Amino acid sequence: MQFQVESKPLQDALGLIAGIPGYSDRTVLLTALKTSGELRIECAASGSYIKIELPAKVLEKGSISIDGDYVTSLHLADQAIFQLKGTKMHVSSSKWSYELGVSQVDKVKGNRPSKVIECMNTISTKMLTGALSKSAIVPAIPNPNHGVRLVVAGDEFKVFCNDQFRGTMYKQKLPAEQESFDVVFKLPVLMAITGRIPDQSVMLGVESGMLRVLSGTVEFYYPTLQAPAEDVEGYFDSMDYKQASTMEVDVEGFVNDVRAASSIVSSIGYEAKLDLTFDKANVEVHVSSPHGEAKAEHVLAAPIEDERFNVKLSNKYLQEMLALLGDPKAKLSIWDDLIVFASTDGVYKSVMPTIADEQ
């Protein structure tokens, strides 16, 4: 077995696999295909399977298992030559040469998909990763099986996430109508995959409890969750915004002012409560404890008509929800018991509870 391959795409591919949660064993199967001039990289774990194909100059076909972490950490030049000699893989470039132990055992055998799932949906990689990143409250949810719901309905692409306290909704129009599906999955794994796919778009397919993600170079199968699909969109639509105090804020400035006032929480804990007082064109952020007191004032993007009012929020939840916005400006809608953050274009919304006044 002997082949020559570009070093960076190879190390990027192995780095992608290394970043997938649950892939603690980074042993990958390398297969050099002389007919097509490709290097196929495969790995499987926890019911999932990934395959990456790279162009390569194949001098002698073959297949071996190798520790992907070793190859990822090697200092290689632009081109790397792999040559199998007995039980050792010799890796050389213009500056370095290495010798790695390999195995003839195919650890992927028996874990490859038994059926190819047809991918009927094409989504922009940027749109998909953006939608998933705005649903990143999931790592804070105690239940490891809690999932994110991904929906394609006609020409709409939607992503929902919620726990018992918070919820997020991303809804964007697609260029054209596509095959509809509704699936729930674990967020960290799909984020790890889509966040490192170099292609501009990915294709998605769902069948028999399995999600298939396909791009020009990457193919990934992952089991979905058999969880009930909660109606997060219906919850947002049922809100009476006429009963809320609504305002527009400069996100970066507001976040900085909140962080400035809440910086005192380093001495009192991340679970501190924040007092936000809204007064026409300003909002005052206040936090106090036996260790000290801090205030910061933020000028709203546009004055509000409501009389001066106060709302109490969890610092932890507020920091997490503001971090998800990622837009220059946002709308805040505040009721007595909850607050909704929304992008000005209406694509993204999130909700969190307020804290009731202590009697």
Judge if 256 and 338 occupy the same domain.
yes
- Of 235, 257, 276, the position where a domain reaches its end is 235
Strands 97-101 and 88-92: antiparallel
Q: Which residue has the tokens 């509000």?
A: 304
C-alpha span between 224 and 98 (Å, rounded): 40
Domain finish residue from 194, 210, 235: 235
What pLDDT is recorded for position 210? 92
Contact 272, 323 (CB under 8 A): no
Q: If you average pLDDT over every residue of the chain, what do you get?
A: 85
Instruction: State residue 142's pLDDT score.
Output: 43
Residue 281 has a CB neighbour count (10 Å cut-off) of 13
Contact residues for 106 (Cβ-Cβ < 8 A; gap 6+): 29, 63, 65
Average pLDDT over residues 131-157: 75
Give mean pLDDT, residues 233-237. 91
Q: Are residues 7 and 82 in the same domain?
A: yes
Q: Classify residue 6 by burial, with Cβ atoms within 10 Å: 0-12, 13-18, 19+.
A: middle
Q: Are residues 136 and 227 in the same domain?
A: yes
Contacts 24+ apart (CB under 8 A), 174-182: 174/123, 178/120, 178/121, 178/122, 178/152, 178/154, 179/120, 179/121, 179/152, 180/151, 180/152, 180/153, 180/154, 181/121, 181/151, 181/152, 181/206, 182/149, 182/150, 182/151, 182/153, 182/229
Residue 16 domain flag: yes
Q: Round to whole Å and give the CA distance between 184 and 209.
A: 10
Q: Are residues 289 and 231 located together in one domain of the fold?
A: no
Q: Is 113 within the bounds of a domain? A: no
- The pTM assigned to this predicted structure is 0.83
Q: pLDDT tens digits, residue range 279-328?
A: 888 888 888 766 677 788 888 887 888 788 889 988 878 878 888 887 78
Question: Which of residues 200, 235, 270 is at a domain's end?
Answer: 235
> Dihedral sign, CA of 144, 67, 111, 20?
positive
User: CB 178: neighbour CB atoms within 10 A?
Assistant: 18
Task: Read off the pLDDT band of 152 (50, 70, 90).
Answer: very high
Which carries the bigger pLDDT value, residue 30 or residue 262? 30
Q: Are residues 143 and 125 in the same domain?
A: yes
- Nearest to residue 52, comparing CAs of 223, 222, 220? 220
Residue 265 clears pLDDT 60, i.e. is over it: no
In a domain, 106, yes or no: no
Clarify whether residues 231 and 244 are in a common domain: no
Judgement on whether residues 91 and 39 belong to the same structural domain of the protein: yes
DSSP helix/strand/coil, 20: coil
With respect to residue 116, please indicate whether it lies within any of the assigned structural domains.
Answer: no
At 40, which CATH number? 3.10.150.10
pLDDT single digits (tens) 5-56: 999 999 899 888 888 887 766 789 999 998 889 999 999 887 889 999 999 9
Task: State the pLDDT at residue 4.
Answer: 95
Q: Do 273 and 348 reside in the same domain of the chain? A: yes
Distances (CA, A) of 254 to 195, 198, 244, 310, 336: 28, 34, 20, 16, 21
- Indicate whether 166 pLDDT > 50: yes
Q: How many domains does the chain have?
A: 3
For range 163-182, the mean pLDDT:
89
What is the predicted pLDDT for the residue at 141?
A: 46
Instruction: Say yes or no: 50 and 137 in one domain.
Output: no
- Does residue 359 lie in a domain region? no
pLDDT of residue 54: 95
pLDDT at 24: 64
Identity of residue 336: D
Give the whole-number percent of the chain exceeding pLDDT 90. Answer: 36
Instruction: For residue 6, give its domain range.
Output: 2-101
One-letter amino acid of 181: F
Q: What is the pLDDT of residues 72-82, one digit of tens each?
A: 777 777 889 99
pLDDT at 3: 95
152: which 2 tokens? 């394609």
Q: For residues 244 and 267, what is the distance between their CA atoms, to the nearest angstrom? A: 34
pLDDT value of position 291: 66
Structural domain includes residue 114: no
